[in-house]
Amino acid sequence: MGSAADAARRAESETTRRRWLLSAPALVIIFVAAIGPLFVMLAYSFMTKGDYGDVKPIFSLDGWFSVLLQRDIFDDTLSLADANLIIMWRSLSLSAITTAATLILGFPTAYFIATRPRETREMWVFLVTIPFWTNLLIRTFAMQQVIRNEGILNSLLMWLRVINEPLPIMYTDWAVLFGMVYVYLPLMVLPLYASMEKLDFRLVEAGYDLYAGRLAVLRRVIIPLVKPGIVAGSILVFIPSLGAYVIPRVLGGGKTMMLGNLIELQFGAGRNWPLGAAMSITLMAVVMIALLFYVRNAARAGGGHG
């Protein structure tokens, strides 16, 4: 009996060791290609700014210090780094508004697809995924042609005589917001559809049979059941919006910077690699907090439906 148990443990140990050996190449690639550069950025953030856009291997907290504070060049007094804080607030607020806007637009879209006959749903999902076939930069330039002064939106509003002169949308926060909503909307629709496809619509009919109104059914039946899709879609939209670089660069025109643009500026024209590295780690920390929030809510939803 004991020998049989020992043999089973040895076999299990051998299987585990074989799995680790088979996974080793992938783990090495992940460490070198993903985790390795993060450690490099973390090390840079604690080094001293170089004279020619590099770093000196001298321990310093100036990079982290400069994320939120700045020192006066004349009397060394400390004050808040207003420019950095404004850009951080703009990044967080635009990302949150983008997430809310895509949820408002994506929820009825996903509901519409989920309520179509099963044989036509794949066609609607296919249409939602078509934008992914086009490069992000091209899609951003396409949005530029829509919202510029002579673009489709202003031309249509002037033709309808809603406005007398073009609305100055380009190179504003509104332009960046429109661009991010347009680009990231499919990332909200797909998780919502995945949740709604599994929804038992007999529960919706039961709500109507119990004399609940549409808003009550939506709030008490549909939303709680598709909450995992809402959380997943929100995370998928919020994270890339927070680190967006191409959209603010093209539609913001350098006037509407976000965290991604600020980090690139520090590694480029700013020649301050420790500050850029500290901002990168700060951005990653915010993303990790968002992911932890998602995992916590997903686990809670899973436990509630288990």
pLDDT score recorded for residue 302: 55
Question: pTM for the complete prediction?
Answer: 0.82
pLDDT digits (tens, 9 = 90+) for 104-126: 999 999 999 988 888 888 899 99
Return the pLDDT at 53.
Answer: 76
Q: Taking the CA atoms of the chain, what radius of gyration do you get in angstroms?
A: 25
Helix (H, G, I), strand (E, B) or coil at 65: helix
Give residue 305's pLDDT.
Answer: 46
Residue 254, pLDDT score = 76
* Domain ranges across the chain: 2-78, 82-305
Using CA atoms, how far residue 217 sits from 15, 104, 153, 206, in Å, is: 50, 17, 36, 9
Q: Per residue in 203-260, pLDDT tens?
A: 887 887 777 777 888 888 888 888 888 888 988 999 899 989 999 999 988 778 899 8
- What residues contact residue 120 under an 8 Å CB cut-off, 6+ apart? none
Average pLDDT, the chain: 85
Closest alpha carbon to 184 in 227, 226, 234: 234
Which two structure tokens, joined as six digits, stand for 266?
């520090």
| Interior angle at CA 237, CA 40 and CA 97, nearest 5 | 115
For the stretch 65-95, pLDDT in tens is 888 888 777 777 778 888 888 999 999 999 9
Q: What pLDDT band is residue 301 in, cutting at 50, 70 and 90?
A: low
Is 100:115 a contact under the CB 8 Å cutoff?
A: no
d(CA 174, CA 180): 10
Q: Looking at domain 82-305, what is its CATH homologous superfamily? A: MetI-like (1.10.3720.10)
Burial of residue 39 (number of CB atoms within 10 Å: 0-12, 13-18, 19+): exposed
* DSSP letters spanning 235-279: HHHHHHHHT--HHHHHHSTTTS--HHHHHHHHHTTT--HHHHHHH
Task: Report the 10 Å Cβ neighbour count for 272.
Answer: 21
Q: Check: CB of residue 229 under 8 Å from CB of residue 196.
A: yes
